[in-house]
Structure 1
Amino acid sequence: MIQIAVFSDVHGNLPALEVVLKDIEKRGIRQRFCLGDLVDFAPWGNEVIEKIRSLNIPCLMGNHDERVAFDIPVVPLSKHSVEETNARFIAIDHSKKNITEENKKFLSELPFHLKLNYKVGKKHWDIQLVHSSLSNNDTYLYESEKDEIFTTMLKNSQSDVIVMGHTHLSFKKQFENKTWAINCGSVGRSKEENRLASYVVFTLDEEKITPEIIQIPYPIDETVRQIKDSGIPDYYASFLKNENVLIL
């Protein structure tokens, strides 16, 4: 039996990341992977990057990592309210100004996606890691999508499991051929009503892969306080407290 942990979308929320890493450690899981979006919306962008670097956790390039690393302009999204659009511009600009050049270089060198192969007994399992999809790190794929979208991704990647983040909404979908599409949710900026830090544990044996989505509390009030004391808009503090903020 082999266990691996996959998490995503920390978004500068160091208290949430530390709780998730501690939970993974308590479970005795040594194989850890991150699907990206280390920065934006909470004030510990540098600390989160340095934590990932110091622990040598393989990490993908999320769309926010790419935007900060290469100073890509922020484009308003039609799904966002005027309030969120304004807050988003300010928050991302805060990251661009505060992430160190060394950490921007680290973000710029992250891989776009990663394919894992584990051998358990006589069985090889292929696990495809992406931020949002095989071809793009800014595609929103939800549980409600047609199965064909995910099964095509599985076929194209020749994998048994495809794991994604990006939407901040976790789900598990299994298909007739026993393959899986999994969204591990978000560590630091969950859009689920409970706002818990979310990640996924895979247990691999010779016969099957078993995914378990783990959701755990973290000191959210500390993150909220630090956001309010930073140059990041209070919008993101209210978001984490689920205080009358529209979720899109």
Structure 2
Amino acid sequence: MTIALFSDIHANLPALEAFFQNLDSRKPDAVYCLGDLVGYNIWPNEVIQAIRQRGIPTIAGNYDSGIGRSSNDCGCAYKTDEEKNNGAVSISFTNQLVQEEERKYLRTLPAHIRVEFQLNDDQLNLLLVHGSPRKINEYLFEDRDEKSLLRIMQDADADILCFGHTHKPYHRKLSDGGRTRHAINTGSVGKPKDGDPRGCYVLLTITENNIETEFVRFEYDVEKAAKAVEESILPDAYAESLRKGI
């Protein structure tokens, strides 16, 4: 079985449309969205509508949770005063844009999705979250201490843990006695932060004997998305981050 996993679109409709075009050429067996549909760009309603139209099972990201509750707090870990001020503009603008039907959808999204496979005589547990199993906005970066990451997965009973939130894709294999656990970050469709402005998602292939990941990068009209930011009240810094993938 091949499963497509994507997250962190952040109201970037050109990126989402290019993602769908790439996805349709791959024909995976299942598709899941790991949240953060909105924020930082001008198309939150269109992004929500496109995902709903395809019936894609979706979990709530921290930004989705904030907007769903009409909150001015997105649970984002801004470090500087400039980032905090820019973030305040973004969430206020997004709250103004999002329509009631779309807000209701965000408010009712689940916190996680668990999929159980029965392979040979063994059960394989796939857990999909946004930040971590412990908290919607916890960052699990690639350099996370191995013992800490392993403990998080053990406590969540996850053989494969898939998540987003950091916007930086990776796959770590963790040895746990006689078994291997997999921690997989899907990267970001609409707001990459790993120095590559192309969108990113992951294809997870599960067989009886192996677990493989392919990180798919795809081109999209970055300039269209960046100019949309610049022509709105959103900070120009968000346009530059799209152009540079940071």
Relative to the length of structure 1, the TM-score reads: 0.92
Deviation of the 1:120 alpha carbon: 5.2
Q: Which one-letter code corresponds to 1:211 in the other structure? A: T
| Alignment match, 1:39 | 38
Q: Percent identity?
A: 31
> 1:18, CA displacement in angstroms?
1.4
Partner amino acid, structure 1, of 2:203 = V
Partner of 1:115: 114
Residue aligning to 1:218: 220
**Aligned residues of 1:3 and 1:201 also touching (Cα < 8 A):** yes
Checking the alignment, whether the CA contact within 8 Å between 1:134 and 1:153 is kept in structure 2 is yes
Contact 1:123 1:206 (C-alpha < 8 Å) held by counterparts: no
Instruction: Encode CA deviations 1:170-193: one digit per residue, 9 max, x unaligned.
Output: 111001222100111111111111
> Which aligned pairs between 1:52-131 and structure 2 lie closer than 5 A?
52-74=51-73, 79-119=78-118, 124-131=123-130
Question: Which residue of structure 2 aligns with residue 23 of structure 1?
Answer: 22
Q: State the partner residue of 2:239.
A: 237
**Counterpart residue type for residue 81 of structure 2:** V
**1:207 and 2:204 are equivalent in the alignment:** no
Cα deviation, 1:18-60, whole Å, max 9, x if unaligned, reads 1112212101114100110000001110000001111110111
Q: Deviations over 1:84-117 (max 9, x none)?
A: 2221111110110110011000000000011012
Is residue 8 of structure 2 the alignment partner of residue 9 of structure 1? yes
For residue 24 of structure 2, give the secondary structure of its aligned residue in structure 1.
helix
Deviations 1:168-221 (A, max 9, x none): 111110012221001111111111111221111111111111112212221101
**Count of aligned pairs:** 243
In the other structure, the counterpart of 1:195 is 197
For 1:216 and 1:121, locate their aligned partners in 2 and report how far apart those are by CA, in whole Å.
35
Q: TM-score, normalised by structure 2?
A: 0.92
| Cα deviation, residue 76, structure 1 | 9.3
RMSD of aligned residue pairs (Cα, Å): 1.9
CA distance in 2, matches of 1:40, 1:119: 38
Q: 1:75–1:123: structure 2 CA closer, same or farther, 3 Å change rule?
A: closer
CA distance in structure 2 between the partners assigned to 1:157 and 1:6 by the alignment: 19
Alignment-mate amino acid for residue 204 of structure 2: F
Give distance in 1, aligned partners of 2:79 and 2:149: 26
Structure 1's unaligned 5+ residue stretches are none
The residue correspondences of 1:135-154 to structure 2 (distance < 5 A) are 135-154=134-153
Between 103-112 and 25-34, the greater mean CA deviation after superposition: 25-34
Cα deviation, residue 242, structure 1? 2.3
- The whole-number CA distance in structure 1 between the counterparts of 2:58 and 2:232 is 26
Q: 1:75 to 1:32 in 2, by over 3 A?
A: closer
Alpha-carbon distance in structure 1 between the residues aligned to 2:63 and 2:75? 14
1:157 Cα offset (Å): 2.3
